[in-house]
């Protein structure tokens, strides 16, 4: 915009000089008329230029504000994903490891349903991110992370029910003097369900590792985008 107005001003100045050279004023009245005309032209240009320049500055300020907000959102998402990864590594997955190592009821931590809060608060602004592919990756990884948390929660319910069933079985075992058909059926059922629990834990472990890797990839993309913003 500034270049445009500088060009217009220069063009007007050249035009005035050319006209003055071609038709030079000869009297004081002619000079007064020329000065008045030039002054009116300058005033008109200023009257047009000032609002346009003010609008241009306002647009620049708004663009800078949006850019700062986007940068803040990207940084917040990156921090939240780091926190989510650490939570998976040191809490939920710790219990999963114990289950796969023959200790199905030890130290299994139910995932926090309040995570992620940052994504929930800025989901409506993700469309403003300049990198459309990154926006899609963010939406995808959070959907996958949420699905993984739901699977962990469901798995925790199964663990709790299995633990309760095994406690009940041990009480029945203590009260029974011999292995009745009911006792053997309960024992076979518990053995089968334990194996189901271990099989599900293995699948959950694979989903966990895949999601963890993809979360790391998104963190790297976020870092690259922050450097550009």
The C-alpha atoms of residue 75 and residue 72 are separated, in whole angstroms, by 5
Q: In the structure, what pLDDT confidence band is assigned to residue 9 with cuts at 50, 70 and 90? A: low
Tokens of 23: 């038709």
Q: What's the whole-model pTM score?
A: 0.70
pLDDT value of residue 18: 63
Of 18-27, 71-80, 81-90, 151-160, highest mean pLDDT: 71-80
pLDDT tens digit sequence for 57-79: 888 899 999 999 999 999 999 99
CA atoms within 13 A on the CB side of 180: 9
Here the tokens at position 37 are 């005309």
CA end-to-end span of the chain: 24
* Other beta carbons less than 10 A from residue 159's beta carbon: 21
Residues 72-116: tens digit of each pLDDT: 999 999 999 998 888 777 765 555 655 556 555 555 556 665 667
């Amino acid at each position: 915009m500034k270049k445009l107005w500088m060009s217009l001003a220069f063009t007007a100045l050249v035009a005035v000089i050319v006209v003055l050279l071609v038709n030079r004023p000869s009297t004081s009245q002619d000079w007064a008329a020329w000065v008045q005309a030039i002054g009116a032209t300058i005033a008109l240009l200023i009257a047009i230029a000032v609002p346009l320049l003010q609008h241009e500055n306002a647009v620049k300020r708004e663009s800078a504000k949006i850019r700062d907000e986007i940068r803040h959102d990207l940084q917040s998402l990156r921090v939240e994903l780091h926190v989510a990864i650490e939570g998976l590594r040191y809490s939920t997955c710790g219990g999963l490891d114990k289950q796969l190592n023959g200790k199905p009821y030890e130290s299994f931590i139910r995932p926090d349903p309040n995570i992620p809060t940052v994504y929930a608060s800025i989901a409506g602004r993700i469309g403003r991110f300049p990198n459309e592919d990154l926006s899609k990756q963010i939406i995808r990884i959070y959907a996958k992370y949420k699905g993984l948390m739901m699977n962990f929660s469901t798995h925790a319910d199964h663990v709790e029910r299995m633990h309760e069933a095994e406690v009940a079985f041990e009480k029945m075992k203590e009260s029974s003097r011999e292995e009745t058909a009911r006792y053997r059926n309960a024992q076979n059922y518990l053995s089968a369900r334990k194996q189901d629990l271990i099989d599900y834990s293995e699948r959950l472990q694979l989903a966990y590792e895949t999601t963890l890797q993809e979360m790391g990839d998104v963190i790297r993309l976020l870092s690259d985008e922050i450097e550009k913003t």
